[in-house]
Amino acid sequence: MTIALWCILVAALLPLVFTAIAKVGHEAGIHRLNRKPRVFQAELTGYRARAHWAHLNSIEAFPPFAAAVLVAQFVHASQNTVDLLAVLFIVLRLVYGAFYLADKAPLRSLSWLLGLLCVVGLFVAAALA
């Protein structure tokens, strides 16, 4: 498997990281968290709410990223380029999450945009293959 394909797995698991940040150590306890998760999520505040929002955005970002990697692999785009853009996407998604947790909206938006450009770059690499 290529590095880029492993990055698909990492991107698929990334929402779980943010969910864990939202839940771990919460005073409600695991039974309440899992009994009515939508109610629990709606009541989150502060960094826990932002972690949940990062979770949701990570789910939204996954399909285009996975598709871009798979298309680039399918058409045999430059493997170095595909791997680089895939790893950069993962790094930027982690940075995005960190900025979200820290409530740094402008930097969060910039890292989101750069991640999106990685996805576009994967499709461009596929088109040029």
82-125 pLDDT tens trace: 999 999 999 999 999 999 999 999 999 999 999 999 999 999 99
The pLDDT tens digits of the residues spanning 17-26 come to: 999 999 887 7
- Which tokens is 25 given? 């150590």
| pTM confidence score | 0.93
Number of Cβ within a 10 Å radius of residue 70: 15
Amino acid in position 41:
Q
Closest residue by Cα to residue 126 from 95, 82, 65, 87: 82
Distance CA 1, CA 89 (A): 18
